[in-house]
C-alpha cells in the first residue's frame, strides 16, 4: 500500500497501521472485527450482509472535521479488515458512508462502491433464498438475505488456495492476471438450511470451487457433495 500510494518512508509504520489515516484527499481505514485492536480498544465492528458497521475512535463526535471528511469525502475511502492481530489486514474495497449515527464514538455503516474495480469478496455465489424486485420487465435482482463474513472467505482461500476443490481448475492459469485470486466459495452446509447466525469454521465449512462446479453442485437438493461431483467427473471421463 505504501508503494502504491507513494507514502514517504518517514510517514510509514506506527499509527499508519491502525485506526484510520488520511493521505492527501484519501482515507485509509484499518478495522478489527470481533477482536480488540493492538491499542486495547474493542469496538463492535461487524457486518450486516455486505455492509460494514464501524465505530470511530473513542470520544469522536459527528461534528469533528475528520468524521465529516469521512462521511463527505473529497477523495476515496480504502477499507481494510482483520479478525486477529496476528494476521495481516485484508483489503475489502472502496467504501462510502451509507448511514451514520451521532453517537460517541461515531457509528458509520459503510457500503462498498468499487466502481470499475471488481471486488471478488462480494460475489453473488450462493443465492438460495431470494427476494425479487422488478423494474418494468427489464431488471430482476436476486438478493441474498444471509450475512457473509469476508474474513472467513480469505481464511478459506489461505488454507486451500484458489484451485477448485472439485476439478482443480485455476482461473489465473487460464485467464492470466484478470483471473488472479478469483474463485467461488462453497458452503458445505447450505445457507438456506442454517436460517440464523452461526459460528462458521472457514476450514471445515467452506471450500473454494470454480463457477462451473459451483453451479452443478446446486443442481439438486440437497446439493451434491464435493466427493460426489468428483466421482461424477471421473466416471464421465
CA distance 129 to 112: 23
Instruction: Tell me whether residue 131 is in a domain.
Output: no
Same domain as 28, residue 91: yes
Same domain as 12, residue 106: yes
pLDDT at 23 over 60: yes
* Residue 104 backbone dihedrals phi, psi, to 5 degrees: -135, 110
Same domain as 18, residue 106: yes
Instruction: Report the chain's mean pLDDT, rounded to a whole number.
Output: 80
Same domain as 165, residue 64: no
Report the DSSP beta bridge partners of residue 71. Answer: none
The predicted-structure confidence for 97-155, as pLDDT tens digits, reads as follows 999 999 999 999 999 886 444 444 444 444 444 444 444 444 443 333 344 566 778 88
36 is in which domain, residue-wise?
2-112
CA distance 54 to 56: 7
Instruction: Tell me whether residue 125 is in a domain.
Output: no
Q: How far is CA 75 from the centre of its chain?
A: 22
Percent with pLDDT over 90 in the chain: 37
Report the DSSP beta bridge partners of residue 141. Answer: 133
Same domain as 156, residue 84: no
* In contact, 82 and 33? CB cutoff 8 Å: yes
Return the H-helix or E-strand segment holding 228: helix 226-236
Q: Phi/psi class of residue 41: alpha, beta or left (left: φ > 0; alpha: ψ in -120 to 50)?
A: beta
**Predicted local distance difference test score (pLDDT) of residue 43:** 86
Same domain as 88, residue 172: no
Same domain as 24, residue 81: yes
Instruction: Tell me whether residue 141 is in a domain.
Output: no
* In contact, 69 and 77? CB cutoff 8 Å: no
Higher per-residue pLDDT: 193 or 93: 93
Instruction: Tell me whether residue 127 is in a domain.
Output: no
Residues 86-107: what's their mean pLDDT?
Answer: 89
Look at the chain and report how many structural domains it folds into: 2
Residues 194-203: what's their mean pLDDT?
Answer: 68
Instruction: Tell me whether residue 139 is in a domain.
Output: no
**Predicted local distance difference test score (pLDDT) of residue 141:** 38
Same domain as 230, residue 185: yes
pTM of the model: 0.56
Instruction: Tell me whether residue 97 is in a domain.
Output: yes
Peptide bond connecting 222 to the previous residue in cis, omega within 30 degrees of 0: yes
Instruction: Tell me whether residue 130 is in a domain.
Output: no
Amino acid at each position: 500500500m505504501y508503494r502504491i500510494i507513494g507514502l514517504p518512508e518517514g510517514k510509514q509504520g506506527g499509527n499508519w497501521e491502525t485506526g484510520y489515516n488520511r493521505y492527501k484527499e484519501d482515507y485509509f481505514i484499518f478495522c478489527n472485527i470481533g477482536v480488540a485492536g493492538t491499542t486495547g480498544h474493542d469496538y463492535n465492528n461487524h457486518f450486516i450482509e455486505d455492509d460494514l458497521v464501524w465505530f470511530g475512535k473513542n470520544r469522536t463526535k459527528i461534528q469533528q472535521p475528520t468524521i465529516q471528511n469521512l462521511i463527505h469525502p473529497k477523495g476515496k475511502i480504502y477499507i481494510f479488515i482483520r479478525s486477529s492481530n496476528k494476521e495481516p489486514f485484508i483489503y475489502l474495497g472502496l467504501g462510502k458512508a451509507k448511514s451514520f449515527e451521532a453517537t460517541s464514538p461515531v457509528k458509520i455503516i459503510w457500503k462498498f462502491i468499487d466502481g470499475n474495480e471488481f471486488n471478488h469478496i462480494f460475489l453473488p455465489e450462493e443465492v438460495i433464498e431470494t427476494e425479487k424486485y422488478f423494474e418494468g420487465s427489464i431488471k430482476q435482482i436476486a438478493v441474498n438475505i444471509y450475512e457473509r463474513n469476508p474474513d472467513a472467505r480469505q481464511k478459506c482461500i489461505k488454507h486451500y488456495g484458489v484451485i477448485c476443490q472439485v476439478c482443480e481448475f485455476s482461473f489465473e492459469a487460464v485467464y492470466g492476471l484478470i483471473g488472479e485470486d478469483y474463485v467461488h466459495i462453497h458452503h458445505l452446509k447450505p445457507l438456506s438450511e442454517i436460517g440464523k447466525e452461526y459460528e462458521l469454521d472457514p476450514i471445515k465449512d467452506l471450500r473454494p470451487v470454480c463457477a462451473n462446479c459451483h453451479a452443478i453442485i446446486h443442481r439438486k437438493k440437497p446439493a451434491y457433495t464435493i466427493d460426489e461431483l468428483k466421482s461424477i467427473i471421473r466416471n464421465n471421463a
